[in-house]
Amino acid sequence: MQKQSIEQLMSSFQGVRVLIVGDVMVDNYIIGKVDRVSPEAPVPVVDVTRFDSRLGGAGNVALNLKALGAIPVLCSAIGKDKEGEDLCKLIEDASMTTRALLTSDKRKTTTKTRVLGNNHQLLRIDHEVKDDLDKLDTFLLEEHFVRELDNADVVIFEDYNKGVLHGLNIEHFLNLCQERGIPTVVDPKKSNFLSYKKATLFKPNLKEIREGLNLTGALSSLEEIRNAVQELNAVLQNQATMVTLSEKGVYIHHQEEEHHLGAHVRNIADVSGAGDTVVSVAALCLAKKCEWNRLAALSNLAGGLVCEETGVVPINADRLLAEAQRIGL
């Protein structure tokens, strides 16, 4: 079978249906200039020039997917609060659906407010509840998930340790996907790291794999990374594991196949949200049955591109295509 061109591959992303289950949040930014210190305390005074609100967490994954032509559906739990209303408006303004969002009066909508002065982050304020969903909300979230699952081509588990995903529903959701033959991509965090068993693709970064396996080494060599992935696979039995290595690129392992791809030289402005972009591209490649090395290469390229932008922003599909063409991907 002839290999698809990169134009054909990215064109095939159009209309792919992606169910994203996990923690959705609002990223607020208070942006201004600093030219003096407060007389009240030794802190900078920010002269505010603008405010900005963006979708974060699983919401940023959804924005990346939509930018690539896919149809994302967010399945999450939010609070019955003003922040939740703001989040729903951001989703609707992006022409995405809120039908799989559970609104609960026992939750706060996760909101992260960052104060930026002279292009530097000075302070972050978090408004959230990190407890696991209770039994009733877990049941209600499952109803949303099951209703959307049969329309999904791929499922992303986007875990930020905010309690939407926990040991019981992770196992159940993964089993439902496996029964239906729907591929799964996991973007894990420490608390539930070893709960994601038999996923199609598991995507930690170096910090997450160290913390998740309680490793003390730096994982600075390819051999150390390979050994850590083998230890992880022995426990989780995932089909493939892709570790993002920051400035060292990515490492992907699938059965007897492995690939290490170096990072592309970039003018790094902000690494925030790069992991969301990587997992979005990887999920679409997985849905289209792309080769593992190509999946890793395109995901790696996309993650690097968004690092050239300030703040959490989705990938620009045209730029990604142009860069992929330029390097012969």
114 near 28, Cβ under 8 Å?
Answer: yes
Q: How many CA atoms lie within 13 A of 9 on its CB side?
A: 26
Q: Which two tokens stand for residue 252?
A: 């992907």
Q: Can you give the chain as a three-state secondary structure string?
A: CCCCCHHHHHHCCCCCEEEEEECEEEEEEEEEEEEEECCCCCCEEEEEEEEEEEEEEHHHHHHHHHHCCCEEEEEEEEECCHHHHHHHHHHHHCCCECCCEEEECCCCCCEEEEEEECCEEEEEEEECCCCCCCHHHHHHHHHHHHHHHCCCCEEEEECCCCCCCCHHHHHHHHHHHHHHCCCEEEECCCCCHHHCCCCCEECCEHHHHHHHCCCCCCCCCHHHHHHHHHHHHHHHCCCEEEEECHHHCEEEEECCEEEEECCCCCCCCCCCCHHHHHHHHHHHHHHCCCCHHHHHHHHHHHHHHHCCCCCCCCCCHHHHHHHHHHCCC
Active site residue 276: yes
d(CA 74, CA 266): 31
Q: Would you tell me how many other CB atoms lie within 10 Å of the CB of residue 322? A: 11
Q: Which two tokens stand for residue 17?
A: 């249906």
Q: 35, 131, 276, 318: which is the annotated catalytic residue?
A: 276
Active site residues: 276
